Structures are given as structure tokens and as C-alpha cells.
Chains A and B, each alone.
Chain A
Amino acid sequence: MCLAVPGKVLEIEERDGTRMAVVDFGGVVKDVCLEYLPDLEVGEYAIVHVGFALQKLDEESALRTLELFAEIGALQEEFGDPWVSAAEAAAGGEEQR
């Protein structure tokens, strides 16, 4: 239950004086309270925990992180031992399935 998961805002409405949203979690749709993220807009992603949006997911930052990861590897490929990398890639491809 400690798990909070990212979801995408589909609709926003006021209910009983509370800002609520319909949020899509990869196909599962739930009602989510937006009182802690009043600026969240339709189409944006947020970390949701037990029916509450707690933090907006920052797309720009996500992309930057992924780019950084790609660069890290590029350096390794350039300076690392090609046999080790090849073995790892082979093992990794299998393991991660």
C-alpha cells in the first residue's frame, strides 16, 4: 500500500467542494483527489497514492534523466572492455525479459 503509482489525468471536476479527477493507470481508471495539486491539468501525469495526487511528474526531468543514462553507457562502451560489455549485454538481454 505504500506504493504510489503514476497516472494520467483524464477529467477534472468539483465535487462537494473538493477538486477531483478521473485518472488512468494504464487502463485502470480511478477517482483521485487533487486538493494537494490544484494546478494539475488534464493530460498531465502525477504520482497518486491511495486516491490522492501527491506530486506532478515532470516530463522534462524524466527525459533528461533518460538521456543521462544513455550518455553514461556511451562512455562505458567507449572505454570499457568490449568483451565484458558484450557478455553483459548478452546476459542482460536474456535476464530482463
Chain B
Amino acid sequence: MRYLEEFQDPALAQRLLADIRATVTRPWALMEVCGGQTHSIIRHGLDQLLPEEIELIHGPGCPVCVTPLEVIDKALEIAARPGVIFCSFGDMLRVPGSDRDLFQVKSAGGDVRVVYSPLDALRIAQDNPQRQVVFFGIGFETTAPPDAMTVHQASRLGIRNFSLLVSHVRVPPAIMALMESPTCRVQGFLAAGHVCSVMGTAEYPELAERYRVPIVVTGFEPLDILEGVRLAVRQLERGEAKVENAYPRAVREEGNPAARAMIEDVFEVTDRAWRGIGTIPGSGWQLSEKYREFDAERRFSVGGITTVEPAECRSGEVLQGLLKPHECGAFGTVCTPRTPLGATMVSSEGACAAYYLYRRLGTGAPAAAGGSAAVGSREVSSVG
């Protein structure tokens, strides 16, 4: 079974596109929640292949992008301390803090290590009992179970020199915040498939009903995304607003109960600030009382840091779908992946980096005619 290639089949993609074209009668704005989906959409030029009535708004679902500056600064401060081994996923290295990034901390002598899994950080803690090992725990509901399990293991195995700098975020409260905003243009959501692989779909019917908005659980391959769009558009054209699952091979209604139970044991819901957006009530997780001794913020007393965002960076608007990346004055000039002003330019899942990487420097609106879509895609293939 080849789960990847088959869901990239160009002939089937054309069939889905034809069905969407036959269904759509007027303009609709859909938001793909997850940065992984944004990346896939831009990489494959899907936004340019869709009928011009359909606008895809890029959502805030890139954990690297929404991790608040305060937390980055706390990470930098902890990482610079002698005796600390600071472990992180690679895409946090270049995220700009107030005056430096993790990469620079490392160049200045800090022991910063890139790991594939939080369990690798735990192993490093076991191997270095005299050092303090901190793992940078950021991410959505997909990353929460791995981090929860790692803290649970640290506790079970009595590894006391390990701690977690936690900045976990949850999708449903963010959808709520977006829909409550007076500037919101979103009429339908492509919900993040892998978040739902863990959490299931139980949190969404209430939101679909309250905001009269279709929510379609969507995967990441081109066909998955087109199917998400197809189902969302079909609902909108029919005046429906319900939860549908366009990614059944990886998402069951109940999610992963074991992972959810572990999250509930290790974490508790808290208010969380999102970079560029602000504080969203109940949108985060922090360590529960039972595991609080593993909280790096407490262990290193870095509670008091406050910060200011660079004024030129408009990533807040980008993250809310109010602005396309290339409409930012700094895009591609002052701000590039080498010299990022905002986190959306750093992470490969950030909308600004996706636009930069796939050369969406020119006209903003999705291509109107088939001709320009082909041009867009050719540019894409020349890059990738």
C-alpha cells in the first residue's frame, strides 16, 4: 500500500477539480487551519488550480509561527545558561527573539541541540545526569501527546534533570477567536487532519453550529486537500454547516483515546498568547499540578520577561488571514528566510516562507484563468 503517491495522482486531482468547478456558483472563502496544509497548497499550486470563486485563507496553524516572543526569549535565556543542554526541533533555531535566536546562542557557546523527538532529549538527560536538560515543547494537539509521554516517562523513571518549556496550543479555541473577530471573512474551515487523528472530531460540531460554518477534517496530500475543499464548497452551496471527515484513513471520530488520556493527565488547559494575534482564552496547555516540577519556566525562574514585536512585521494579520504574505512591505526585501522579521518567514510551514520558497512574489489574487495557473505551477516545479 503506497499511501503517499496515490493521494498525489494528477488524473484524480483533475476529477476532483472538475467536480468542484461544477458545484461552485459564487465566491467562498475557506481557511486551511494547518501550516502543513498551507505548504502543500502553495507547493502544488492548488490555490491556482481551483476555480477563481474559491479563496484559500491561510490559517494560524503553524506552531513555530504562533509561539509568542516572550516564550522564545525565555528559551534563549535558559539556553544561554551554563550547565544547560537546550533541546529543540530544528525549525525553532532561527525564530527571532527580541535580540537573537537559538542559533546565535549556540554560536556564542550555548549547548543547543536539535532532536527529532522529545524522547531523544530525555535520553540526553539520562546520559548527562550532572546537567540540566530542557526540551522546548511547542506545538498543537499532535505534539502534545509526545511531550506528555516524555514528561510522564521522566517522572516514572525518576529523571529529575529533565524539564519542559511548554507552549502548547489548541485549535478549537483559535477557530472560536477567529470567528468572533469582526474582520473575519472565513466561511468554511479545512480542519487540521493530524490534530483530529489525536483529538477526534467531538470538539467541532458545536463550533460548526454556533458559527454556521462547515468544518471539514482534511489531510495533507493534494487529493486530500481538494476533497476537503470539495466537501466544504458542497456544504456552502447547499446552505449546510456541519462537520465532515475528508481524511477517514487517519481520523476516527474518537481520535486516539490513549493519547487524549495522557494529555489530560500531564497537562491542563490555560490561556495562551499567540504571536501576532494575542491571548486566546483556554487555547493552551500547561503542565498539570502533578507534573509541575518538570516545568522549565519554574525551574529557571524566567517568568518576568516582557517583549515588543518589530513594527514592520505584519505576521499577525497574515496569521488571521487578513493579509497575504507578499502584501507585507517587508516581504522578500527586508524579510527573507535568511533574515526573518517574523516567525511566519522562518518555519517552512509559515505562510510567508511558503510564498517565498515557491516564488509567489507577484500578483496576489488566485490566478483567474487556466493559463496563469499553468504558469504558476511551472514556477513551482522549477523550484521543487
Residues of A whose CB lies within 8 Å of any CB of B are 1-4, 6, 16-18, 26, 30-31, 33, 35-38, 45, 47, 49-52, 54-55, 57-59, 61-62, 64-66, 69-70, 72-76, 80, 85, 87-89, 91-97
Contact = CB atoms under 8 A, between A and B. Distances in A.
24 contacts: A1-B89, A1-B91, A2-B140, A49-B194, A50-B116, A50-B146, A51-B116, A51-B119, A52-B146, A52-B149, A54-B142, A55-B252, A55-B256, A59-B249, A61-B249, A62-B249, A69-B15, A72-B15, A76-B18, A88-B18, A92-B13, A93-B11, A95-B374, A96-B8
A2 B15 contact: no
A22 B63 CA distance: 27
Contact of A88 (B17, B34, B156): B17
> What 7 A-B pairs are tightest by C-beta distance, nearest first?
A73-B15, A51-B117, A96-B10, A55-B197, A95-B377, A62-B249, A92-B14
B378 A95 contact: yes
A94 to B, nearest CB: 7
A54 B194 contact: yes
Interface in B255-282: 255-256, 258-259, 262
A69 B90 CA distance: 37
A25 to B, nearest CB: 10
Contacts of A59: 1, 249
B153 interface: yes
B244 interface: no
A37 B45 CA distance: 35
A54 B197 contact: yes
A9 B259 CA distance: 19
A94 B19 CA distance: 20
A45 B154 CA distance: 28
Nearest to A35: B149
Interface residues of B, number: 71
A91 B374 contact: yes
Contacts of B156: 17
Interface in B144-186: 145-146, 149, 153, 156-157
Interface string B83-118: 000000111000000000000000000000000111
